[in-house]
Chains A and B, each alone.
Chain A
Amino acid sequence: MAAEAHAIDALGQFKLTTALGPIGASVNFTQSNLMMVISGLLILGLMVLGARPQAVVPGRLQALAEMAYEGIRKMCIEQIGEEGKAFFPFVFTLFMFVLIGNLLGLLPFSFTYTSHIAVTLTLALTVIVLVTIVALKIHGLHFFSYFFPPGAPVLLAPIIVPVEIISYLSRPVSLSIRLFANMVAGHVMFEVFASFILMMAASHALGSFGVVGAVGPMALNVALMGFELLVAFLQAYVFAILTCIYLHDAVHLH
C-alpha cells in the first residue's frame, strides 16, 4: 500500500519545462508560455472570426464573440461607471486570458498557467499598479485620503490608516492566491482520483473488487470535471469583477 501511495505525483503536473524544442529552450520559453500563446490566439481568433460575418442575426461563433464583448463591457460600465469604457479592453484581456487559461488547462496533456502563483501574482500586480496609477492620475495627492474614510474620528487615525493601507496592499495577494489555489486544488484532485483509479484496478489484494471499485474515483473525476468547468468560469469572473471594483475605487474613491 505504501509503495502504491508513493506513486501519486500530484504536483509533477505543475513542473515547468521548455517548449518548442531547442529554439524555445534557448530563450527559456516554457510550455506554460506556449499555452499562453495558444489561448491568446484562441481569444483573437474568436473575436476576429466572430466579427467577420457582420451578420445582423449572428451565427454561433459571432454570438459567442458578441456575448463575451457585451458581457464584459456591461460589467465594466455597471461596476466602474461611464469611465469604465476606457478600461474595457484591459478587463476583457484579463478575463479572457484567465478564462481560456483555466479552460485549456482542463484538457488532458495541457498545462494550466493560472495554476502558477507567479503568473497570477503578476496579473494581480498589474491590476494593482494600474489601479494606483489611475487613482493618482485622477485624484493626485487627494488619492491618499482613500486610506482615511471621511467622517471617521481623527483619534482613530493611527489604527484606521494602517489597516486601510494593509487592506489595500493585500488586494494583489488575495487576488492572486484565490485563483492560484483554486486551480491547483482542482488539478491536484484530478490527479489524485485518477491515481486511485489505477491503484485500485491494479491492486493484487483487491482483485476483481478493485476493478469494480475503481468506478468510484472515476465517477468522482467525471463530477469533478463539471465542477472544475464552473470554477474555471467563476474564478475568471471573480478576477475580472474584483479588477472592476478596484478600478471603481480608483476612479471614484470610496
Chain B
Amino acid sequence: MRPIGLLTAAALSFLTSVALAAEGKEGMPQLDFKNVLLKSQIVWLVIIFVVLYILLSRWALPKVGAVLEKRAATIAGDLDAARQAKGAADAAVAELTAKTREAHAGAQAEIAGAVDAAKAAAAAQTATLTARLDAQLAEAEGRINAARAAAMGALRQVASDTAGVVVSRLTGVAANAAAVDAAVGSALSARGLG
C-alpha cells in the first residue's frame, strides 16, 4: 500500500510542478516561439527533408526497386523455364506412350498375321492330304470292285463248268450248256452273287 500511496503523492506533486513551470518563466520549450533556435530548427528541417526526399527518390529507392524487379524477373524466368521443361517432359511421355501403343499394335497385328498364315497353311495341307487320301481310297475301291467283278465272272464259269462236268458224269450225257448256264445264273442270283 505504501509505495502506491507514495506514487499518487508524487504524481500529484509532479502535476503541480508542471503547472508551476507552465505558469513560471519556462513553460514548454516547444511553445517558446520567441526562441531563434525554434525557427532555425524548421529551416534546417526543410533543408534536410528536401535533401532526404531527393536522395531517396532519385538514388536509394530505385536501387531497392531494381533489386525487387530483378528478383521478380528471375522468379518469372525460372518459372517459365520450369514450365517449358515440364511441357517437354509431358511431350516426351506422350510420345513414349504413343510409340509403345503403336509398337504394341504392330506386334499384335504381326502375331495375328502369323497365326492366320499358319492356319491357312495348315488348312491347305489338310486339304491336299484329304484329296490324296480320297483319291487313293477311290482307286482302291475301284480295284476292289474290279477284283470282285473278275472274281464273280470266274465263279459263274467255274460253277457252269463244274455243273456241266457233274451232270455229264452222273447222267453220262453231255449237259445242255444253255440250261446249265441258266440254272447257275438263277442259283447265283438266289444267293445274291449273280
| B14 contacts A213, C-beta separation under 8 Å | no
A-B CB contact pairs (8 Å), 16 listed = A8-B14, A14-B28, A15-B29, A29-B44, A40-B55, A44-B55, A47-B56, A47-B60, A48-B63, A51-B66, A52-B63, A89-B53, A92-B61, A180-B30, A184-B28, A213-B3
CB distance from A220 to the nearest CB of B (A): 9
CA distance A185 to B17 in the complex (A): 16
Known: A93-B49, A93-B57. A47 touches B38 (CB 8 A): no
Could you tell me which residues of chain A, from 57 to 94, have a CB within 8 Å of some CB in chain B?
62, 65-66, 69-70, 88-90, 92-93
| A93 contacts B56, C-beta separation under 8 Å | yes
CA distance A10 to B10 in the complex (A): 13
Total chain A interface residues with beta-carbon distance under 8 A? 64
CB distance from A9 to the nearest CB of B (A): 8
B66 surroundings in chain A (CB, below 8 A) = 51, 54
Contact stretch, chosen from A115-123, A155-163, A166-174, A221-229: A115-123
B67 surroundings in chain A (CB, below 8 A) = 51, 54, 62, 66
Residue of A nearest to B65 (CB): A69
| A43 contacts B56, C-beta separation under 8 Å | yes
Known: A89-B53, A89-B61, A196-B7. A28 touches B30 (CB 8 A): no
Interface: A56 (CB within 8 A)? yes
Residue of B45, B51, B71 touching A119 (CB-CB under 8 A)? B45
CA distance A196 to B51 in the complex (A): 42
| A5 contacts B56, C-beta separation under 8 Å | no
Contact stretch, chosen from A30-38, A132-140, A234-242: A30-38
19 new A-B contacts, CB < 8 A, other than A36-B44, A56-B74, A119-B41, are A1-B9, A5-B17, A8-B17, A11-B21, A12-B29, A32-B41, A40-B55, A48-B63, A51-B63, A51-B64, A69-B64, A90-B57, A92-B56, A93-B52, A97-B49, A116-B41, A180-B30, A213-B6, A217-B7
| B61 contacts A1, C-beta separation under 8 Å | no
CA distance A97 to B50 in the complex (A): 11
| A33 contacts B44, C-beta separation under 8 Å | yes
CA distance A65 to B56 in the complex (A): 12
Residue of B nearest to A93 (CB): B53
B74 surroundings in chain A (CB, below 8 A) = 56
| B49 contacts A216, C-beta separation under 8 Å | no
| B28 contacts A11, C-beta separation under 8 Å | yes
| B36 contacts A48, C-beta separation under 8 Å | no
| A118 contacts B41, C-beta separation under 8 Å | yes
| B40 contacts A119, C-beta separation under 8 Å | no
CA distance A202 to B42 in the complex (A): 40
B2 surroundings in chain A (CB, below 8 A) = 209, 213
Interface: B26 (CB within 8 A)? yes
Interface: B143 (CB within 8 A)? no
CA distance A28 to B37 in the complex (A): 6
Pairs A-B, 10 closest by C-beta atoms: A28-B40, A89-B57, A5-B13, A47-B60, A51-B63, A33-B44, A16-B37, A15-B29, A40-B52, A213-B3
Residue of A11, A48, A56 touching B60 (CB-CB under 8 A)? A48
Interface: B127 (CB within 8 A)? no
Interface: B48 (CB within 8 A)? yes
CB distance from A22 to the nearest CB of B (A): 15
Binary interface profile of B, 94-117, with partner A (CB < 8 Å = 1, else 0)? 000000000000000000000000
Known: A199-B10, A216-B3. A30 touches B44 (CB 8 A): yes
Binary interface profile of A, 192-213, with partner B (CB < 8 Å = 1, else 0)? 1001100110000010010001
A16 surroundings in chain B (CB, below 8 A) = 29, 35, 37-38, 41
CB distance from A240 to the nearest CB of B (A): 14
Interface: A141 (CB within 8 A)? no
| B63 contacts A30, C-beta separation under 8 Å | no
CA distance A15 to B27 in the complex (A): 10
Interface: B166 (CB within 8 A)? no
Interface: A142 (CB within 8 A)? no
B57 surroundings in chain A (CB, below 8 A) = 89-90, 93
B56 surroundings in chain A (CB, below 8 A) = 43-44, 47, 89, 92-93, 96
